[in-house]
Structure 1
Amino acid sequence: MTTRSFNDRLRGIHAATIVPMNSDFSIDERALATHLSQVVSVPGINGLLVNGHAGENFMLSLAEKLRIVEIAREHSPRDCLIVSGVNHEASLEAAREAAALEKVGADGLLVFPPNSWALAHAGTCVIEHHQRIRDVTSVPLMLYGAPVSAGAMAYSQPVLQQLVADRRFVAIKEGSWEVSAYEQNLRLIRRLRPDFAVLSSGDEHLLTSYIIGSGGSQVSLAAVVPELVVSLWKAAEAGNWAQARVMHEKLYPLAVAIYRDAPPGRATARLKACLKLLGRLSSDALRPPHLPVSSTELQALDLALHMAGALEVRSG
């Protein structure tokens, strides 16, 4: 029996999941197991991204991140691809975190840029950070292409070229959230490494990314309405652009309500609120300083879920 490569398994839709919290802000492990099980049970969801931004990775201790990987492994099918984010300001700690996440069962690791890089950083620091992680791990590694709106965090073309040249890195979660930047990076990567997987991760413009070219997506929208995201991908992969447009029209208002509407930086709170509205999460608690959604946000999310067909229209 031929073993499928990491990139073969990465193709398609992978859900970036949230982490349910108790009222004391500890992780609700039972609710987390239920959340993960519900998502991976949807046909067409090929894997999970845990310890990502939607999973509040910058708020978690190393012990908590390791436990999340263990729970994901325990409550997912054997062939489910589990990628864990690695997110730390210090390169030495990021490397320690990466090695530990691999040891507890992550199939691959997604290396997030430190948040401090949004202010400024030297390109050599980017390479050093990734090499520190590379040198203590053996599983496939992924890059993260940050939004162009995230200050200096998005990699320049010369830096991206150096990162892609490292054969230990095999894929990128391309989160430019801007179509022209996405296409520019896609074309650079395809020219340098045709084998390199480019996953579009701008939830608002998945359709556009699929038209330009994509190997799939690791997105948190797939943790809320996985069936719709899978349907969009399948239609796009089949070249059925009329059907893909129908799915896009359902998804777009929800993506805007979660990711774009002011105030910014509220995606995780809104994802949890959506899951609560859908009856799949009992508590939408987040770790401070983040707060649950306002009544205005909740109303917008409720409307968007109805427009997506995810909620039944209420009578009266």
Structure 2
Amino acid sequence: MYAATICPMREDGAIDASTLAAHLSEVAGTEGMTGLLINGHAGENFMLSRGEKQRVIEIARAACPAASVIVCGINAEDSREAQRHVADAEAAGADAVLIFPPFSWALSQDNEVAVRHHRMAMEGSRLPLFLYQAGVGAGKMAYTPDVLARLAQLPGVVGIKEGSWEAAAYEANRRLVAEAAPAVLMMASGDEHLFTCFALGTEGSLVSLACVVPALIVSLYQALQAGDLAAARQWNERIYPLAKAVYGTAPSGHAAARLKTCLKLLGRLEHDTMRAPMAPLPAAEVGMLQRALQAAGL
């Protein structure tokens, strides 16, 4: 289990290093948490400079328990730039990287682009590699079965953050990868339907809701691993309203901001600042999140 964490910022938009360290330490220290996914979508990787991303890794390595596995998200349009970010991650102490499909791929990519991008990004690195399967509504960013199978067979690939956001697609991809690359971990990571996908079977998860409710997500996973369906349903009753409020409410682009606002409402962040052009959430959304946190027993 890996929590995909946020990146706290001060009111001027600069990274709040001390709050970031406290956030990472608290979440990573949750019993049953294997490690963290930092610089992911929830961590605003597409808004941070190259230097800021490396600084986040350094803070994570210093703040987290020694046994925590630090996975660093890589999000760059240019394959050579991605390669430089991988090198930065390795130098700063990351244990693995996760390569996200660039946002431009939502418009177009051919069958060779994704494979070439991953190969070039990992040139010269020995770090283990996680893939990211984007949601069914993400256009061409979501890999076709052929491309996903080819990527899973690349050297160094150890797992897939499966974010199809549809249980049927998750099951199909899980079966595909089990045949094409049996050693690769297929990890259900669609926050809105963790219960369903965990029940279908998973080798873990890299999931951003766990940066707000890490103990609940771990408990859901452990209950289903143990075959305790009744307990899993109880955990899901607490998780589902919050997942729906953060991810299942339009506009979906507010998800990272909603995670920060949840942490602020819980007293774990002083500011829920996002990088521009994101503005503070409307009062109606803040109220929705407050009710969802109450439903989760928080």
TM range (shorter): over 0.9
- Aligned pairs for 1:145-184 (under 5 A) are 145-184=133-172
Task: Give the SS at the match of 2:73.
Answer: strand
- Answer yes or no: is the 8 Å Cα contact 1:273–1:292 preserved in 2: no
Task: Give the SS at the match of 1:135.
Answer: coil
Q: Deviations over 1:109-146 (max 9, x none)?
A: 00000000001111111111000012221110010000
Which letter does structure 2 place at the counterpart of 1:83?
V
2:7 matched residue in structure 1: 19
Among 101, 105, 119, the alignment partner of 1:131 is 119
- Unaligned runs of 5+ residues in structure 2 are none
Q: Deviations over 1:180-209 (max 9, x none)?
A: 111111000001222110111101111111
- Aligned pairs for 1:158-307 (under 5 A) are 158-307=146-295
The TM-score with structure 2 as length reference comes to 0.99
- Unaligned runs of 5+ residues in structure 1 are 1-12, 311-316
- Aligned pairs for 1:46-125 (under 5 A) are 46-125=34-113
Q: Deviations over 1:272-314 (max 9, x none)?
A: 000000000000000001122111101110000000001xxxx
The TM-score with structure 1 as length reference comes to 0.93
Task: Give the SS at the match of 2:36.
Answer: strand
1:36 matched residue in structure 2: 24
Moved over 2 A (4+): none
- Answer yes or no: is the 8 Å Cα contact 1:231–1:247 preserved in 2: yes
Q: Percent identity?
A: 51
Instruction: Tell me by how many angstroms 1:55 deviates.
Output: 0.1
RMSD over equivalenced CA pairs, Å? 0.8
Aligned length: 298
Equivalent-residue separation in structure 2 for 1:230 and 1:166 (angstroms): 30
Equivalent-residue separation in structure 2 for 1:75 and 1:282 (angstroms): 19
Which letter does structure 2 place at the counterpart of 1:299?
G
Mean CA deviation greater in 41-50 or 267-276: 41-50
Instruction: Tell me by how many angstroms 1:38 deviates.
Output: 1.2
Equivalent-residue separation in structure 2 for 1:264 and 1:217 (angstroms): 20
